């Protein structure tokens, strides 16, 4: 049976919409807890540090460093067959939260854990912009 593997795109929820809207607008919007003051990622209804519901949205600086990465030389799913090698990474934002991303505009040999990176807003469709990173 022929199966079609379209690239999986995120489907936002009422809780996460401001984050994805931020990416569409070209900025990283993050939640911060009004009660304990800590930053939160991924967006959620309750603070994972104190379970407060008082989370408000703020624009992150965009400063970030590479926490770790790998170069997947076999696709992690058939959907990504055309993206191999996949430069999958975890990036730490200046605010202290980490997120999953991919690295772009960098040669494999130039990737260093700890290097400064900056956001790339990758418009995949009218509805979805993904957040990728490149060397700062």
Partner 1 sequence: MGLRGDAAIVGIAEYPHTRKYDGERKFTLSQWAELTRMALHDAGLEPEQIDGVCCSDIREAGMFTPATIVEYLGRPVNFAERIDLGGANAVGMVWRAAAAIELGICDVVVCALPSLPTPRDPSPPPPSPEMFFGASSARWGSPQGEFDIPYGNLAQNCGYAMIAQRYGAQYGYDAEAMAKLVVDQRTSGAANPNAAFFRSPVTVDDVLGSKVIADPLHMLEIVMPVAGGGAVVLASREIAERCNHRPVRVTGFGEHLTIKTPTYAEDLCVTPVGPASRQAFAMAGVVPGEVDAAEIYDCYTITVLLTLEDAGFCAKGEGMRFIREHDLTFGGDFPLNTHGGQLSMGQAGAAGGMTQVVEAARQLMGRADVRQIAGCNTVYVSGTGGVMSEQSALILQGG
Q: Which residues bind partner 1 (CB under 8 A)?
A: 1, 3-13, 16, 42, 67-80, 83, 86, 88-90, 98-102, 113-114, 128, 130
Residue 37 or 78 with smaller CB distance to partner 1: 78
Q: Which of 30, 47, 66, 89 binds Zn ion (CB under 5 A)?
A: 47
Residue 50 found at the interface with Zn ion (CB under 5 A): yes
Strand runs labelled E in the chain: 29-33, 39-40, 55-59, 64-72, 86-93, 98-102, 116-123, 129-135
Residue 54 or 113 with smaller CB distance to partner 1: 113
104 binds, among partner 1, Zn ion, none (CB under 5 to 8 A by kind): none
Q: How far apart are CA 60 and CA 62, in angstroms?
A: 6
Asked if residue 103 lies in contact with residue 76, where contact means CB atoms within 8 angstroms, the answer is no
**Beta bridge pairs of residue 119:** 133
* Minimum CB distance to partner 1, residue 54 (Å): 21
Residue 52 found at the interface with Zn ion (CB under 5 A): yes
Q: How far apart are CA 62 and CA 119, in angstroms?
A: 6
Asked if residue 34 lies in contact with residue 55, where contact means CB atoms within 8 angstroms, the answer is yes
Q: Which residues of the shown chain bind Zn ion in the complex (CB under 5 A)?
A: 33, 35-36, 47, 49-50, 52
């Amino acid at each position: 049976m022929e199966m079609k593997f379209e690239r999986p795109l995120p489907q936002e929820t009422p809780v996460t919409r401001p984050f994805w809207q931020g990416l569409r607008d070209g900025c990283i919007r993050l939640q911060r807890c009004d009660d304990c003051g800590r930053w939160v990622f991924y967006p959620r209804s309750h603070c994972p540090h104190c379970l407060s519901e008082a989370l408000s949205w703020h624009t992150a600086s965009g400063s970030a460093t590479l926490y770790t990465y790998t170069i997947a030389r076999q696709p992690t799913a058939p959907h990504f067959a055309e993206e191999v090698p996949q430069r999958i990474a975890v990036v730490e934002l200046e605010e202290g939260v980490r997120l999953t991303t991919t690295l772009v505009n960098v040669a494999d040999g130039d990737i260093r854990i700890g290097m400064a990176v900056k956001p790339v807003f990758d418009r995949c469709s009218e509805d979805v912009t993904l957040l990728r990173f490149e060397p700062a």
